[in-house]
Amino acid sequence: MRTYDVLIIGAGPIGMACAIEAKNAGLSYVIVEKGALVNSLYNYPVFMTFFSTSQRLEIGDVPFVSINPKPNRNEAVEYYRRVAEKFSLNIHLFERVDKVSKGMDGKFMVETSKTSYDAKHVIIATGFYDIPLMMNIPGETFPKVTHYYKDPHLYAFQNVVVIGANNSAIDAALETYRKGAKVTLVIRRGEIGSYVKYWVRPDIENRIKEGEITAHFNSEVLSIDTNQVTIRTPEGEQTIDNDFVIAMTGYQPDFGMLKKLGVEMGDGTQPFYDPETMESNLPGLYLAGVVCGGMDTHKWFIENSRVHAEQIFAHIAAQS
Ligand SMILES: Cc1cc2nc3c(=O)[nH]c(=O)nc-3n(C[C@H](O)[C@H](O)[C@H](O)COP(=O)(O)OP(=O)(O)OC[C@H]3O[C@@H](n4cnc5c(N)ncnc54)[C@H](O)[C@@H]3O)c2cc1C
């Protein structure tokens, strides 16, 4: 079996940035990705606009040209595909990493859904978008409930409950409202989230003020039924007609997988890594990208975690 210098788990923007560094350093590498290229971005809402400017999403010094200051999801998917082509990145798509173990010889053995690999170094760049934070309420698993909002057209002329206060929820509420949905927004806290894009905030505030979108603050959904939803509000419980629930309650990294890979988890939700080198507790096993934040999914973004790739390869170079 061939031994790679580096095996990267996840072909998101940061896994790709790591592959480019490996290639530039003359190391052999492979990215193993369980879905499509940039699978998280592929699954984002089709009309999503990034809060970052296109320059801040660039990897490998390849210019990301967008006509607008903030690019959208479709432009980003196209950009990263072109980057993969430009560098002829060695990516194995639709292949899931299931297990990583370290042998007596210091090499990693990586088992996937298709085969196995040997590698001297492994980088975990698995993001946080695969596991939604569940509310654990009755009806949450009905087909009319989604944790991955995609396209507003589906909701035209329907009664839609949107749960959440951050960008994903606010975008979903505004887009579906504009396609003719009757939207009720349910927010646990007393206000719209502080991370909401600055150009979107006045829009949602005005729609709520004008009564075009109903918002229940300090409220939570208690249960979901086939045709109704029950909400606890400061004024008491309310049951409203409902066709679809868009639950934008957030996501979390796959902590089970990280533990299985041997990464120390501190309090159980924060993977250990050295912030200088990005090396985990296991020598040769690194973390990169948004997975590093653990439950704090608002700490790392593409724009501030691109640098992890350089840190990791500086450390690998220093050792050889
Ligand atoms: C709606 C939304 C909007 C965002 N907007 C911005 C923005 O404007 N600017 C910004 O900087 N950041 C933004 N982010 C945050 C973050 O930057 C992105 O989530 C980005 O995709 C993170 O890159 P990553 O490479 O670390 O992880 P990801 O892009 O999530 O890539 C991880 C990859 O690992 C794969 N994977 C997972 N487990 C396995 C396994 N066991 N085997 C093989 N492959 C596996 C996944 O399929 C995925 O393709 C946004 C996030 C969301 C959810």
The answer to whether 294 and 131 have CB atoms below 8 angstroms apart is: no
**Looking at the DSSP assignment, which residues form a beta bridge with residue 239?**
230
pTM: 0.95
Quickly state the pLDDT bin for 145 (edges 50, 70, 90): very high
Token representation of residue 268: 């159980």
Token representation of residue 124: 């975990």
Cα→Cα distances 272→119, 288, 298, 313, Å: 21, 12, 17, 18
The answer to whether 102 and 113 have CB atoms below 8 angstroms apart is: no
Long-range CB contacts for residues 19-28, cutoff 8 Å, separation at least 24 = 19/87, 19/89, 19/90, 19/91, 20/59, 20/60, 20/83, 20/87, 20/89, 20/309, 21/309, 21/310, 21/312, 21/313, 22/313, 23/87, 23/89, 25/313, 25/316, 25/317, 27/316, 28/2, 28/4
Helix (H, G, I), strand (E, B), or coil: what is residue 74? Answer: helix
The answer to whether 272 and 263 have CB atoms below 8 angstroms apart is: yes
- Residue 51 DSSP class: S
Give the Å distance between the CA of 143 and the centre of ligand 1: 25
List the one residue out of 260, 261, 224 whose CA is nearest residue 243.
224
For 134-247, which CATH class? alpha beta
pLDDT tens by residue, 281-291 = 999 999 999 99
Ligand 1, closest atom to CA 171?
1
Give the Å distance between the CA of 290 and the centre of ligand 1: 7
Probe ligand 1: pick from 77, 290, 311, max atoms within 8 Å of CB? 290
pLDDT tens by residue, 211-269 = 999 999 999 999 999 999 999 999 999 999 999 999 999 999 999 889 888 899 988 88
Q: How far, rounded to the nearest angstrom, does the alpha carbon of residue 60 sit from its chain's CA centroid?
A: 21
Ligand 1, closest atom to CA 35?
47
Probe ligand 1: pick from 95, 129, 198, max atoms within 8 Å of CB? 129
Give the Å distance between the CA of 39 and the centre of ligand 1: 8
- Backbone angles phi and psi of 122, in degrees to 5: -125, 135
Give the Å distance between the CA of 125 and the centre of ligand 1: 8
Give the Å distance between the CA of 95 and the centre of ligand 1: 17
CATH architecture for the domain at 3-131+251-319: 3-Layer(bba) Sandwich (3.50)
Residues with CB under 6 A from ligand 1: 9-15, 32-35, 38-41, 44, 48, 50-52, 96-97, 125-127, 129-130, 168, 257, 289-290, 301-303
Dihedral of CA 112/299/313/54: which sign? positive
The boundaries of every CATH 3.50.50.60 domain in the chain are 3-131+251-319, 134-247
Averaged pLDDT, 196-214: 97
Is residue 104 scored above 90 in pLDDT?
no
Residue whose CA is at the smallest distance from ligand 1 atom 31: 12
Supply the pLDDT for residue 1. 78
Q: Which residues contact 266 (CB under 8 A, 6 or more apart)?
A: 272, 294
- Residue 72 DSSP class: B
Supply the pLDDT for residue 262. 87
Quickly state the pLDDT bin for 272 (edges 50, 70, 90): very high
